[in-house]
């Protein structure tokens, strides 16, 4: 098991990592893992929240799927959390983390759009903020947040969000926001 989880580490290091991880898991949640000298598994009554989050994310991204039952704070919170944030030294975990990170960003943006369409603007803003917080350089996250503010009639908040987006893109990448993002504000103001 240790060599599977930490293939690049020496056997000694992999075994130490496994012991440490098991100790932390059992200290946090006694009975979470059933382990013997031959097998290791999660306890049968353990619910793995990542499976639910991934299912919700795929539903949110499916334009033909009804999602009213998952347009909730709990779904937003699940999609706001990183996958195994303390395990970033393992290449296989890094790949899984990045795959889930991208999925959850797209799902948070889709959630914000769906909530905006049904007029739940405060929740749409919260989902948009979660996407921006997860990836501050992501222009599409800023776009759904600006859209939610505009749909709620909060032009000043939309302008403030655009200004934040502009500032972070300039500071970090030396880039201006795309014209399409700027056009959102000018089209709304001229209407």
Label each residue of 81-147 as H, E or C: CCCCHHHCCCHHHHHHHHHHHHHHHHHHHHHHHHHHHCCCHHHHHHHHHHHHHHCCCCHHHHHHHHH
Kindly report whether the global pTM for this prediction surpasses the value 0.85.
no
Phi, psi for residue 40 in degrees, rounded to 5 = -145, 135
Mean pLDDT of 82-107: 85
Candidate from 55-64, 74-83, 154-163, 178-187 with smallest mean pLDDT: 178-187
In CATH, which of 1.20.810.10, 1.25.40.10, 1.10.1040.10, 3.40.50.150 is domain 49-190? Answer: 1.25.40.10
Domain ranges of the chain: 2-42, 49-190
Mean pLDDT of 13-38: 84
Element (H, E) at 182: helix 179-190
Phi, psi for residue 62 in degrees, rounded to 5 = -85, 110
Question: Is 43 within 8 Å of 33 (Cβ atoms)?
Answer: yes
For 53-80, the pLDDT digits (tens) are: 999 999 999 999 999 999 999 999 999 9
């Amino acid at each position: 098991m240790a060599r599977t989880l930490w293939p690049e580490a020496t056997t000694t290091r992999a075994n130490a990592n496994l012991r440490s991880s098991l100790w932390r898991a059992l200290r946090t949640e006694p009975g979470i893992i059933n382990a013997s000298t031959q097998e290791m598994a999660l306890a049968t009554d353990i619910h793995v929240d990542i499976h639910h989050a991934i299912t919700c994310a795929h539903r949110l991204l499916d334009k033909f799927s009804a999602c009213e039952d998952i347009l909730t704070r709990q779904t937003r919170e699940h999609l706001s959390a990183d996958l195994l944030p303390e395990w970033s030294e393992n290449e296989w975990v890094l790949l899984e983390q990045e795959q889930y990170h991208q999925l959850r960003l797209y799902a948070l943006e889709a959630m914000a759009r769906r909530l905006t369409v049904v007029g739940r603007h405060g929740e749409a803003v919260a989902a948009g903020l979660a996407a921006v917080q997860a990836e501050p350089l992501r222009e599409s996250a800023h776009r759904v947040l600006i859209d939610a503010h505009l749909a709620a009639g909060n032009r000043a908040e939309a302008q403030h969000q655009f200004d934040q987006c502009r500032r972070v893109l300039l500071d970090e990448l030396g880039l201006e926001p795309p014209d399409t993002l700027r056009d959102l504000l000018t089209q709304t103001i001229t209407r």
